[in-house]
Amino acid sequence: MAESGASALPPARPARSPLYRAEQFVWLTARVLEQRLFAYHFLHGAPDPVETALDAYRNEDGGYGHALEPDLRGPVSQPLHTARALGVLDAVGRCGGQRVERVCRYLTTVSTADGALPSVVPGQGGYPTAPFVPVVDDPPSDLLATGPIVGLLHRNEVWHAWLFRATDFCWQAVESLEKSHPYEVEAAVAFLDSVPDRPRAEAAADRLGRLVREQRLAALDPARLDAWPVAPGYAPGEHHFPHDFARHPHSLARAWFTDAEMTRSLDHLAAEQREDGGWPIRWRRWAPAAALEARPAVTIAALRTLRAYGRYVG
C-alpha cells in the first residue's frame, strides 16, 4: 500500500475519452513493447525504451522472432517478425544505422532465388503457428512479406544491395496483379507509398485502386456489410475498410475513396472501440495468447489512424 501523501496517479487525460480508455486497456493487457509504444505515441515517451523492449525479440542472425508477430510462435527469425520490427523502428525514428544493416544481412540470407522474401522460412515447423500461415519446405516469394519491408527501407532512405532485386520483385508483383485480396493490397500500398519512383507508384496505385473497387475488396458502407463479400480463406466478418488501405491521409490509397466513404469508414473505426478500451482483431482467433497479444497493437494503430485524420481521441 502506498504511504500517505504519496502520489502514483498518471497525468490527467479526459476521463472516458478514447485515449483514456485505450490506455487502461494497454496497461492491463499489453506486452512491454506495446506499452512503450503507446507511451511514445500518446504520452510523450522516449524512443530509447521502445528500442530496448524490441531488443528482446532480436536474434543473433539479425532477424527477429519470439512471437513478435503473435501468429508465429517460437524463437525462429522470420520475415514477418522482421517486418514488424522495422515498423516499430520506423515509428520511433530509429530505422537506420547498424541495427538495420544487420537486418538487411539477415534478409539477404533468407531471400528466395528472385531476391524477395517468403512469408515463413523453413525452421518454423514444430512451433505453434496460426493455421492461416502456410509453413512449407520450399516457400515462394511473397508480396505480403516483401512489400512492407521494402517500403519501410525506402521510406527511411536505407540503401543496401538486398533492396535492388527486392524492389524489382515488388514492382513486378504489384503491376501484374489481376486478382488480389485485402492483405496483399495493404502490402502493395506499403510499398507504393514509399518507393522513390513516384510517377510509377502513382500510376500503379491508380490501377490498384480500380482493382480494389471492381473486386469489392473494401467495404464502403459499414452499415451494409452483408453486401460486401469476405475474401476466400478469411474469417467470417473479416471485412476491410477504406481506412485499412489508407491509414493516413497522405497515402496513395486515399484517392481510391470519396470523402463520404472515408468518413463512414473512420466513423466505423471509432465505433469499434470495445468496452474494455481496446479495438478488436478481425482475423481468425486460433489461440488465446495470440489474440491477446495482437489487440494492443491493433488498438495503437486505430488511434494513430484516427488522429492522422484529425479525429478526436483525447
pLDDT tens digit string along 173-214? Answer: 999 999 999 999 999 999 999 999 999 999 999 999 999 999
Confidence grade of residue 14 (pLDDT, cut at 50, 70, 90):
low
**10 pLDDT band (50/70/90 cuts)?**
low
pLDDT greater than 90 at residue 78:
yes
Grade residue 125 by pLDDT with cuts at 50, 70 and 90. confident
Q: What is the mean pLDDT of residues 27-44?
A: 98
Higher-confidence position of 107 and 125: 107
Q: How confident is the model over 275-302, as pLDDT tens digits?
A: 999 999 999 999 999 999 999 999 999 9
* 104: Cβ contacts below 8 Å, ≥ 6 apart: 62, 153, 158, 160, 162, 163
Residues whose CB is less than 8 angstroms from the CB of residue 162 and which lie 6 or more positions away in sequence, other chains included: 104, 107, 108, 111, 115
Is it the case that residue 221 has pLDDT exceeding 70? Answer: yes
How many whole angstroms from its chain centre is CA 31? 16
Residue 278 — φ and ψ, nearest 5°?
A: -100, 165
Mean pLDDT of 236-258: 97
* 103-123: b (≥16 Cβ within 10 Å) or e: bbebbeebbbeebbbbbbbee
Q: Judge residue 241's burial from the number of C-beta atoms within 10 Å of its C-beta, 0-12 exposed, 13-18 middle, 19 or more buried.
A: buried
Report how far residue 51's alpha carbon sits from residue 57's, in angstroms, rounded to the nearest whole number.
10
**Whether pLDDT at 2 is above 80:** no
What mean pLDDT comes out for the span 252-271?
Answer: 98
Residue 34: is its pLDDT beyond 60?
Answer: yes
Whether 91 and 54 have beta carbons less than 8 Å apart is answered as: no
305, 249 Cβ separation under 8 angstroms:
no
Task: Please state which of the ranges 132-136, 150-154, 282-286 shows the lowest mean pLDDT.
Answer: 132-136
Q: What is the mean pLDDT of the chain?
A: 94
- Residue 269's CB is within 10 A of a number of other CB atoms, namely 22
Q: Is the pLDDT of residue 134 over 90?
A: no
pTM: 0.94
pLDDT of residue 9: 47
Contact 24, 277 (CB under 8 A): yes
| Residue 97 grid coordinates | 544505422
End-to-end CA distance of the chain: 30
- What are the residues facing 58 on neighbouring strands? 64
pLDDT for the residue numbered 6 = 41
Could you give the CA distance from residue 80 to residue 280 in angstroms, rounded to a whole number?
21
Q: Which of 92, 103, 80 is nearest to 50 (CA)?
A: 92
Work out the average pLDDT over 135-159. 96
